[in-house]
Structure 1
């Protein structure tokens, strides 16, 4: 934790103590007290934070580059996954939906199994191993035409690789930044993820229109035919190879102070049982799990963009419907909205609960736009409202998740904590396939009732804001924010809601 008290301080006298002619000018102030880039007067400004961020170790920028590559590979695959399974392997809507959902669930279960191994291996070894497994899995996904191998890759290879690599990227941001730059660093991290998702959607649309018949690759005397979907998957595979190379260049270090050299991070090795027990016995872990579980309904709308919207749009508007461009509006808006939301949060100093509640409500109410009309305009409006809400709640929740994680136990904490996140994928996969077969069948247009389908989805997602509003006094505690940028806001919010008797009781505890 950094101490921002200056070695020499200077405060201008008040008007009652000094005349106007005697008030010191900026030039007369001691040099150590002038608002330089490293002074406390600029410690919390966006410009000062960005200046410090530029001096972070190279590992931070490697993490950003790896996040860009992995997010592009993941989102470009998720945009087409259910269509890929149905069109190339003949899976029904329900089967494709459940494969999508079980893929998310197994990512969580595998994370539970390897979380302690990640803590023992450290950031570098875990990223190298995870990116290698992801690369091999994506190569198989591009080349095989066996449905059994494809399902095995989706349910084994990708979950194992993702569990070893993806959570460590966010904790790399934590380790390679100091306290005053961490909020900005996570905002950039989140923007990079959404920029990659946007590029994935645009690339998907370009490839679908330029290579409708696929592409023949001639390697020696052999000819490999890549379908449209496999061309897009191969782009993500190439980026996985780049990530594997970058992972080898990362050092096991931690930034303690912005004005000091990074220190070597010593991995806290322990048995899996001991690590898991250490995490499970912390009350803040269970409070955060409750918060993550509440957001399952809200997160389901993000997953419906992958699992439901592509098939819905192609069946209502034809195979050339630009579902990938419409979906990519979300990350494009997030790229611009998240920095604005970060600056806005710093300016008004709202408690974090306000951002989570308002953002959760907006992201949960967005399906009702599609319950009014089947037009492209309704789809765009739904994405815009979803994005406005996500820009408010997601970065705050993301930053908080790594802030409350114990140092050296991030892998186990996040593995246990992300179970509700992946449960949203399982729920979305099952609901999506059932809803599509029931309300938007592929071969029976007369039975279609898409407006009712989206109304039901909207009602299910509204459970999240209702629970969040009802339980926020139980979930949010001051001690969980200790040392984070959100502490002052939550303290302000809790003190404002207490009377003198409550404050006295709290002091006695």
Structure 2
């Protein structure tokens, strides 16, 4: 109970924060909805609309991650120059333009430009900006709770996206119409985000006034140790958690058929993350963020093994619940860990790197997903679909073991970071 009391006290402090932080939370929900839409539908979109094979659709999924990664690293250097408000306006406008093009065009190459150019740019730009906004309006006493609330918004967007996709997918027969409707909705959401970003009040606290040169950040021992940690997190995302988007929809439709309600399981997954993000927050008062990252990865490995056991709804639900429990621990605590490592003025670079597991991991995810589906779960021919999840589970366990072995070499002194954060002003 004392742990939950500390969380409750943090919530009271956050509730009295300036309105800016709640507008940032809202923008996070909108842009997360757009991100979930594109990652959930991307392989199906290219296989259905353009007749691409599983492997080639997987390559495009991987290329999306590559572009997001490159843009994320690049944007980390320019975020301090453009500021939070201008950056969020540019981000929402870019995502809006990309989805509008997708909803109207039937060209393969134009669709690639819309996704790899406009949408990827907007999403990659928004990550560091939203993270900076949350850090500037929190301190070490309520930061874990602030991050958990931020991630709850992300997971709420996942619930909405998964449920909406499932309803539209099963209501309409024409797949082209389905994609047009969903992409138009995503464009409308980012249009609303653009309006919120334009009306966002800019002030010194949000924009910051002490910026550190990127070169002085990346040539430090602290940064490279942090980069190794993020490398492990990237592996966990690519071999385990991202398979929900890249592999699970095709896996379940080939095991059950066209009426497989993969969107419902995605909704269960997101609903549990929404609850767990705050429910697991009290653990941060007793365990380090690094230890909790390892715990999240272990739950993800166990979740994948559940699918190896069979195609019952109970196994699918167990998979969704365990995987979401792992991710709602791993993702907020990775962001929490990043904020503890990054000093004031360094957030742009560190938060850009922190976002790379979701993007860079998509490269490996796309390749792994395409290979596993074509070898073990092809659309036609002999299938051994459940073996896919045994491979995923073993790979995830290996990554967690490596994190445990190298923990004392690469983990950051989090208690020292929290002491340094005590200088920050609470508004």
TM-score higher than 0.5? yes
**Please, which of 319, 332, 342 is the counterpart of residue 405 of structure 1?**
342
Residues 176 and 254, structure 1, Cα contact 8 Å, conserved in 2: no
State how far apart, in whole Å, the 1-side matches of 2:233 and 2:137 are: 28
Residue deviations 1:316-345 (CA, integer Å, cap 9, x gap):
111110011112211110111121111344
CA contact (8 A) 2:68 2:360 kept: no
Q: Which runs of 5+ in 2 are unaligned?
A: 423-427
Find the aligned partners of 1:296 and 1:317 in 2 and give their Cα distance: 30
Pair 1:174-2:135 in alignment = yes
Deviation at 1:415, TM superposition (A): 2.6
The residue aligned with 2:425 is none
Structure 1 CA distance for aligned equivalents of residues 420 and 287 of structure 2: 12
Match of 1:453 among 378, 388, 396: 388
2:243 is equivalent to residue 243 of structure 1: no
Say whether residues 1:472 and 2:407 are aligned partners.
yes
Preserved contact between residue 44 and residue 180 of structure 1 (Cα < 8 Å): no
Q: Is the 8 Å Cα contact of residues 79 and 324 (structure 1) preserved in structure 2?
A: no
* Pairing of 1:109-508 with structure 2 (within 5 A): 109-213=70-174, 227-253=177-203, 265-266=208-209, 268=211, 275-300=213-238, 301-346=240-285, 349-444=286-381, 447-478=382-413, 481-483=416-418
Q: 1:414 to 1:264 in 2, by over 3 A?
A: closer
Instruction: Tell me how far 1:165 sits from its aligned partner.
Output: 1.8
**Does the 8 Å contact 1:363/1:385 carry over to 2?**
yes
CA RMSD of aligned residues (A): 2.5
- Paired with 2:188 and 2:328, the residues of 1 have a C-alpha distance of 30
CA contact (8 A) 2:298 2:400 kept: yes
The whole-number CA distance in structure 1 between the counterparts of 2:354 and 2:54 is: 30
Shift of 1:400: 1.5
Larger radius of gyration: 1
Deviation at 1:133, TM superposition (A): 1.1
The 2-side partners of 1:57 and 1:77 are apart by 32
Residue 42 of structure 1 and its aligned partner are, at CA, apart by: 12
Q: Distance in 2 between matches of 1:169 and 1:284?
A: 23
72-81 vs 465-474, greater mean Cα deviation: 72-81
Shift of 1:45: 2.9
What secondary structure does 1:295 align onto? helix
Provide the rounded CA distance (Å) in 2 between the counterparts of 1:326 and 1:43. 29
- Higher helix proportion: 2
The alignment of Structure 1 onto Structure 2 pairs a total of residues equal to 420
Q: How far apart are the structure 1 equivalents of 2:288 and 2:93?
A: 41
How far apart are residue 264 of structure 1 and its match? 6.9
Taking the TM superposition and a 5 Å limit, the aligned residue runs for 1:13-92 are 45-92=6-53
Taking the aligned partners of 1:192 and 1:120, their CA distance within structure 2 comes to: 27
Closer/same/farther in 2, CA of residues 355 and 380 from structure 1, 3 Å limit? same
Q: Measured at CA, do residues 195 and 416 of structure 1 come closer, stay the same or move farther in structure 2, by a change above 3 Å?
A: closer
Q: Do 1:357 and 1:468's aligned partners in 2 also have CA atoms closer than 8 Å?
A: yes
Q: Normalising by the residue count of structure 2, what TM-score does the alignment of the two structures yield?
A: 0.92
Shift of 1:357: 2.4
